[in-house]
Amino acid sequence: MFYALCFKLARMALILDGRRARETLAEKLKGKIKWLSFKPRLTIVQVGSVSESSAYIRQKKLFGESVGAEVSHIRLPETVSGEELIDKISDLNRDKNVHGIIVQLPLPVRLDRQKTIDAVSPEKDADGLTTTSVERRRAARGGAALWPATARAVLELLNFYQVPLAGKKAAVLGRSALVGAPVAEILEENGVSVTVCHSQTLNTKEITRASHIVVAAVGKPRFVGADYFAAGANQIAVDVGINRISHHAEKLAEEIPRVKFVGDIDFEAVAPLVGAISPVPGGVGPMTVLALFENLADIAAASSLAGMSDI
């Protein structure tokens, strides 16, 4: 296979470059959106002004507009009540000019995250995270389903680099409803035997070393080290984590605090051991933005067909 050939030729891990993959796949998405004959609109609802969230929103807006979608951003004050937030989402549900809605996470801890997400109409759930979307997905095993953007991103990144899936074993580290669980489900849907590991799993490293694919979604910087992998086994390491850390850089003999982002996998330690690895940043992250707008295109097309059937 492609990734194995690259590994043998280069004697180093193939980098699963999400930026390169997104650039290629974005052309197909542009055509899909153009076919709709209208611009699908995504509305992003944000509470407060956390700098990282605002940066992610800018990235989504830029990419969405580049593929032909419209992106609107509603920022509510940090003090907004849960009732006011849900009322705003309900207004968007009724707005026929809005085809997709996402709630930008994280929310302030005082707000009920799942209750807020569930306020989004399943027909406009671009993130695929509402309880109804999860139930529909599980009921449609093997059929068409709307997957959360991160899970879809992991699958599409592996497919882009022609990583074989059917009959393989995978370990997913982390079982969150937002990331770990849907990643495990989408891999299972594609013929992978998946073991989900969490803080109570006793033999996690044995499981990961025996797996063809290891997906890290634990939310801890560089938590997954070399001891999670078997040297020479040509494993695939997929890093879903994005962690902000502080470090110091020298400038004019002064140490200036800086901020950088790292994944859940210790890239420098693991890369020499595996066949392929996704970097952070630049791996799953760019693909997640792509997957979000693929979801938007899918639900916009479905709403268009539903509208035609009502005529």
CATH of the domain at 187: 3.40.50.720
Coil, strand or helix at 11: coil
Catalytic residue among 17, 118, 125, 127: 127
Question: Domain span at residue 164?
Answer: 148-285
Q: Which amino acid is present at 279?
A: P
Residue 198 domain flag: yes
Last residue of a domain, one of 126, 159, 180: 126
Does the CA dihedral 250-252-258-261 come out positive or negative? negative
Q: Quick check: 81 pLDDT over 80? A: yes
Assess if residue 192 is contained within a domain: yes
**What is the band of 306 on the pLDDT scale with cuts at 50, 70, 90?**
low
Say which of 32, 60, 124, 168 is annotated catalytic. Answer: 60
User: Is 19 among the domain residues?
Assistant: no
Q: What is the pLDDT of residues 33-59, one digit of tens each?
A: 999 989 999 999 999 988 788 889 999
pLDDT beyond 60 at 6: no
Q: Is 310 a catalytic residue?
A: no
Distance, CA of 100 to CA of 123 (rounded, Å): 8
The total number of structural domains in the chain stands at: 2
60 annotated active-site:
yes
162 is catalytic: no
The answer to whether residues 122 and 195 belong to one domain is no
Cβ density class 268-299: b for 16+ within 10 Å, e for less: eebbebbbbbbbbebbbbbbbbbbbbbbbbbb
Percent composition of the chain: helix, strand, coil (DSSP 3-state, to 5): 45, 20, 35
Residue of 104, 124, 125, 264 marked active site: 104
pTM: 0.90
pLDDT at 266 over 90: yes
Please report, for the domain that includes residue 121, its CATH number: 3.40.50.10860
